[in-house]
Amino acid sequence: MVRALVTDYVHPLLIDGLKERGYEVDYNTNVNMDTLPEVIHRYTLVVINSKIRMFKDIIDLAPMLKFICRLGSGLEIIDLEYAAKKNIQVINTPTGNNNAVAEHAMGMLLALANNLIRADREVRQFQWNREKNRGWELKGKTLGIIGFGHTGSQFAKKLSSWELNILSYDKYRSEYGPEWDFVDKVALEDILNKSDVISLHLPMTEETRNFVDWDFINRCKDKVIILNTSRGKVVKTLDLVEALEEGRVGGACLDVFENEKPHTYSHSETNTYTRLNSMENVVLSPHIAGWTFESLEKIAQVTLNKIDFAI
């Protein structure tokens, strides 16, 4: 019997589905990078999330491995080239949570535009500050989407009836098709020059690391709003914080961060994030944009479908 290792919390559908396909499943969410090398040799299939890195040193310890299944979309945690060399099929599930990410991005943007986080906090403290919390509307604004893949396109679809001007830039997508006629495909400079709001939907690669830095910001429209629900290292946090403090950036919605482990912050990181966390023109969440009950099940089903297709 072939064996599968599931290292993170998943919907029962995935466990049951693997068993139905003949796998003996070890569902162990306590496995980490310290313990994985001791057990990985037993498995034909491994299901991972962000805490596990499948690089050459681990892959070399897994002579029977045929599948690496990534819950979600990000593939920076897998050495794709080496996996291919070893004839290991890599499966990810961007269509399992792209709707969840798009809805979360919308929620963050609306919360920022209408001062909902501050207003909620003040009402709970019996403060009634209507003028202080006057918001702004999306209608008539220009929204720029950088990265028009699974999540970027879903975000555009959500906003298609909101009477916005929607621009997009994707270096690796030449055609969009007729269903995206409401989206103007433009150059990056057009996004920066024209957008009131810029939403980032990029993978984590060396090309996108620190994609948003002072140079990027200085090329943007004044008081631009920046949303990031993709990968934290796409944004150089210190540059964004300084731009927010100076008023060069009008606000930010961040679900992802350069360092997502607060207990590991250096002194300088603590200072940077303390400054960010104190701002009222930002909306922050702990990398949960794709984290819904529905996406948990959809990711399980997409994983199983892809395994079936690959076999």
Active site residue 130: no
Active site residue 231: yes
Mapping DSSP onto H, E and C, the string for 117-177 reads HHHHHHHHCCCCCCHHHCCCCCCCCEEEEECCCHHHHHHHHHCCCCCCEEEEECCCCCCCC
- Name the catalytic one among 260, 263, 294, 297: 260
Active site residue 260: yes
CA distance 2 to 17: 14
Looking at the annotation, which residues are catalytic? 231, 260, 287
